[in-house]
Amino acid sequence: MNQTLRQQVGQLIIMGFDGTSVAPSLDSVLQELQPAGVILFARNIESAQQTHALLSACRGTLTTTPFLGVDMEGGSVDRLKRFMGPAPSAASVFNAGNKSWFVQHGELIGTECSALGFNTDFAPTLDLALPNSRLVLGSRAVSPDPEQVAEYGRLFLEGLCKSGVLGCGKHFPGLGEATLDTHNELTSIEKSFSDMWQQDIAPFRILCGELPLIMVGHANYPTVTRDKLPASVSPVWITEILRNKIGYRGLIVSDDMEMGAVLAAGSVGEIAVAAVRAGANIVLVCRKEEMVRQAWEALLHEAERDSVFAGYVAEAAHQVLAFKNQARELKEFPSQFSLAAVEKQRQEIGKFVAQLEQEQQR
């Protein structure tokens, strides 16, 4: 499929928005920009049937098969608990010690996602559970041991795969030493590359061939890069280390470009361009339609101005489209909403939570 430059730029953005339906302004953005996909948050989700209808409407507006994404880790990051019941956190499942439950955790979360029409879950978190980040990550991180983190991640991904949902490892190269929340401000992690390689980066290295997507976080690592840039816009982290040194061949996605940590480095348009120039395939712009447009326009204008950057855009879009053509998870969408399937899954989650509670009481 030969794409115009405008179409290529669209494939470099997964967008979020306000609202619980496709309002005229959102329809206009989707029609014109043709993004690679959408991501929903709790603000977009009122009921199971409404969520399915919203995803169906978004999907019907886009000309290429879209990523229909959500952050579903369980615990503190659970967008569907309003009607599915709360899913357990990664840490609570890990601490129960039954490895078969790691797979079940992924499968339960994946099945509740797929029942509504989601095909992509931005999980698991592969950050190490270290003392510095305890207040930031909490129960999202499972262990300080990188091999244990990788094992949980692998089995969780296996469960997602069983349910027909793509997973995404995050937040490369690791937020285990982060003392500040990157949603609000840039955190600087002073750690040597050799220590990072053996510790924080290890889960990503171990799972390199198994992660469909990797999300790059917004922390800065000055000891490694000798600059003040977040990893999400750093060619050192994305191209030199993740692509070339580790050899990762899946899709590289930035964390949300509306977060305070990365907006400290420039406007949303400037940082979107910087992320793609650094080697990212897709940037997340997760809420404001005007910021989505700004990112799209900046990418387009830079590609029109700079033929080298246009080459980066073309290659990134080619990789995204090739991935979409191969990923069976993106091709399946429940055309008919089933309340019975949702209710069954709600009951399954409740049973799983009860199992965990019984284990904890022993």
Choose, from 183, 301, 306, 318, the residue flagged as catalytic. Answer: 183
Q: What is the residue type of 72?
A: M
Q: Is 1 exposed, middle or buried (0-12, 13-18, 19+ CB in 10 A)?
A: exposed
Q: Positive or negative, the Cα torsion across 76, 77, 82, 85?
A: negative
Q: What is the DSSP letter of 166?
A: B
Q: How far apart are CA 350 and CA 309, in angstroms?
A: 50
Give the tokens for residue 181.
Answer: 């929340």
Query: What is the DSSP track for 92-142?
Result: HHHHH--HHHHHHHHHHHHHHHHHHT--EE---B-----GGGHHHHGGG--
Q: How many CB atoms lie within 10 A of CB 41?
A: 14
Q: How far apart are CA 171 and CA 204, in angstroms?
A: 9
Q: How far apart are CA 40 and CA 60, in angstroms?
A: 16
| Known active-site residue 301 | no
Angle formed at CA 41 by CA 206 and CA 334, multiple of 5 degrees? 80
Q: What is the DSSP letter of 42?
A: G
**Residue among 107, 223, 248 at smallest CA distance from 172:** 248
Q: How far apart are CA 7 and CA 1, in angstroms?
A: 11
| Known active-site residue 183 | yes
Q: Which three-class secondary structure string do you get for 215-235?
A: EECCCECHHHHCCCCEHHHCH
Choose, from 71, 200, 255, 256, the residue flagged as catalytic. Answer: 255
Show which residues are catalytic. 183, 255
